[in-house]
Structure 1
């Protein structure tokens, strides 16, 4: 399916009403007007409740497969993750109309951040294979983590509900989270035949080159080599965590002694859990849930087929350079 054309395929769009800063009805109307003007067959389903998104995504992906069509995510990283899970399971291609705060996945793949421009780009796009990370059987496109990072995401969502969705609010929420006291994770990690026990504030596994480049990790290029990157924070003080956040913003994370980072294709993690507990809090692409331990991190043997805008001949290096410095 590499570089396959879907210029005449029907588009089944899942629009998350809670994503983005624009009015959901206005976004719904914009998508409908542009797709109608293109002459493409399409259907848009606007989902009001977050818990309904995975089920709707699975239904639309199944219909897209039966119709030889494309399932499209209009939302933030969490919505895109749910649609990617469904598309990956069903084996159908997907498109993305980014509506989130950071939009790491869409930015990495050259998809415009403006909705109208993203629709236009999608209409002329081809399907390209994209690497997918798995934690147990759950897809992650950007990252998966446990420990401090899921706590940060929960706090960020609470702050966004009070103060609105913006990068400033997200960064303020991160600072407030780091100033709280946190318990250390006790993990048994098996990788490459070796087993070791570690303590860490968080375990973060990244599958997005742009995000890894932004914090200064050399493993960013591992994503282009069929691998993912892991980051573990050694036990440190609250102010050590704040300093870590500052160094991350300056793309200096790899220079910190408190940080261990490496790349891999497969890794099993067994967290120490209280007696009787079998589930651990994890985050996948910004969505927090409970998952059964042990946790198996790996690169999926099957890619996701994503509609990506065509890159003009000779422009690939320019796009790559620009993305790395956004």
Structure 2
């Protein structure tokens, strides 16, 4: 039986710093009307409004047997995915962010019109998620250097604009500044290891890990998670590490340790009661110990068919 797209309840986040969000919402609505696709547009206009807007979209999708669609960057996609996953609703994405790792990993184009066309051809597919405590993450979650990098990157974007070049230069500046070193106890696969590291990065996106050249990308493709730790290094060695990452040759680099896992418990050696955590581009504080694991059930995601796949298969 052919799959018929249900009504779409689409969430835009105009408070996320994307200046053209309202124009994009009108563009999407026009294209869906032309295609005859039932839809409803929800726009978060002010900071702090996103949660209530998502709630209205989820309520409408549940009542209508519809799909909730996130239009935005990784932070907006994460917030919608949390609600869709909790409610076991079908979800779609329209990538509008800087890097768009999640959408790109699942075949969604980065040009808006092309993304809408892909969404109109999409079919449900189960997608594994990462879980930190009770919060899902789509791309990555981390502690240490990376949360600080994200905060400084957002400051740079507000000052110089939301461009990839700004994000990359800001990240490089943060790396070269160095920072505090954490001592962490990592419990995984029945073993405990103690590491001194500047950051612990947990990835759930094979596209991002492939770009870095890490073998754990294959494990993520199979539904596991990947952990990467970065040892304290000199400025010169840090620059060499950044170059290797940019060339997709990070695997086996000095100072980098990586491994795949299904469940990882992280306890700071100093028994801190909470840690600053970055999840899909958003920074928050969470109680310790931190428990990373694969989510117990997948997200049902609308994904465009592969080129060799029958559209209605």
Pick the TM interval, shorter chain.
Answer: over 0.9
SS in 2 for 1:106: helix
Q: Cα–Cα, structure 1 residues 287 and 45, in superposed 2: closer, same or farther, change >3 Å?
A: same
Cα distance, 1:20 vs. partner?
Answer: 7.6
Asked if residue 293 in structure 1 is aligned to residue 288 in structure 2, the reply is yes
Asked if residue 144 in structure 1 is aligned to residue 141 in structure 2, the reply is yes
Q: Cα–Cα, structure 1 residues 281 and 74, in superposed 2: closer, same or farther, change >3 Å?
A: same
Distance 1:72 1:314 in 2: 23
Asked if residue 11 in structure 1 is aligned to residue 8 in structure 2, the reply is yes
Distance 2:280 2:168 in 1: 17
Distance 1:29 1:314 in 2: 31
Structure 2 counterparts to residues 187-226 of structure 1, below 5 A: 187-226=184-223
Cα distance, 1:96 vs. partner?
Answer: 0.6
Which of 235, 244, 248 is residue 247 of structure 1 equivalent to?
A: 244
SS in 2 for 1:253: coil
SS in 1 for 2:177: coil
Distance 2:243 2:171 in 1: 11
CA deviations 1:255-283 (Å, max 9, x no partner) are 31200011010110012457xx5221001
TM-score computed with the length of structure 1 as normaliser: 0.90
CA-based RMSD of the aligned residues comes to 1.9
Distance 2:47 2:260 in 1: 33
Cα distance, 1:314 vs. partner?
Answer: 7.0
Asked if residue 268 in structure 1 is aligned to residue 265 in structure 2, the reply is yes
Structure 2 counterparts to residues 223-238 of structure 1, below 5 A: 223-238=220-235
CA deviations 1:156-208 (Å, max 9, x no partner) are 11100000011110111011111223001111111122122211110001110
Distance 2:273 2:155 in 1: 26
Structure 2 counterparts to residues 146-165 of structure 1, below 5 A: 146-165=143-162
Q: Cα–Cα, structure 1 residues 28 and 179, in superposed 2: closer, same or farther, change >3 Å?
A: same
Q: Which residue of 1 aligns with 2:183?
A: 186
Distance 2:96 2:39 in 1: 19
Q: Cα–Cα, structure 1 residues 260 and 46, in superposed 2: closer, same or farther, change >3 Å?
A: same
Aligned partners of 1:218 and 1:254 also within 8 Å: yes
Q: Cα–Cα, structure 1 residues 4 and 202, in superposed 2: closer, same or farther, change >3 Å?
A: farther
Aligned partners of 1:19 and 1:100 also within 8 Å: no
Aligned residue pairs total 310
Cα distance, 1:244 vs. partner?
Answer: 1.7
Which of 37, 49, 52 is residue 49 of structure 2 equivalent to?
A: 52
Q: Cα–Cα, structure 1 residues 35 and 19, in superposed 2: closer, same or farther, change >3 Å?
A: farther
Cα distance, 1:4 vs. partner?
Answer: 8.6
CA deviations 1:223-280 (Å, max 9, x no partner) are 1222111101122223332322221101111131200011010110012457xx5221
Distance 2:203 2:47 in 1: 24
SS in 1 for 2:141: strand
When structure 1 is superposed on structure 2, of 291-300 and 38-47 the one drifting more is 38-47
Q: Cα–Cα, structure 1 residues 60 and 168, in superposed 2: closer, same or farther, change >3 Å?
A: same
SS in 1 for 2:300: strand
Structure 2 counterparts to residues 33-112 of structure 1, below 5 A: 33-112=30-109
Distance 1:6 1:65 in 2: 17
Aligned partners of 1:268 and 1:294 also within 8 Å: yes
Q: Cα–Cα, structure 1 residues 75 and 145, in superposed 2: closer, same or farther, change >3 Å?
A: same
Q: Cα–Cα, structure 1 residues 59 and 278, in superposed 2: closer, same or farther, change >3 Å?
A: farther
Q: Which residue of 2 aligns with 1:133?
A: 130
Q: Cα–Cα, structure 1 residues 184 and 304, in superposed 2: closer, same or farther, change >3 Å?
A: same
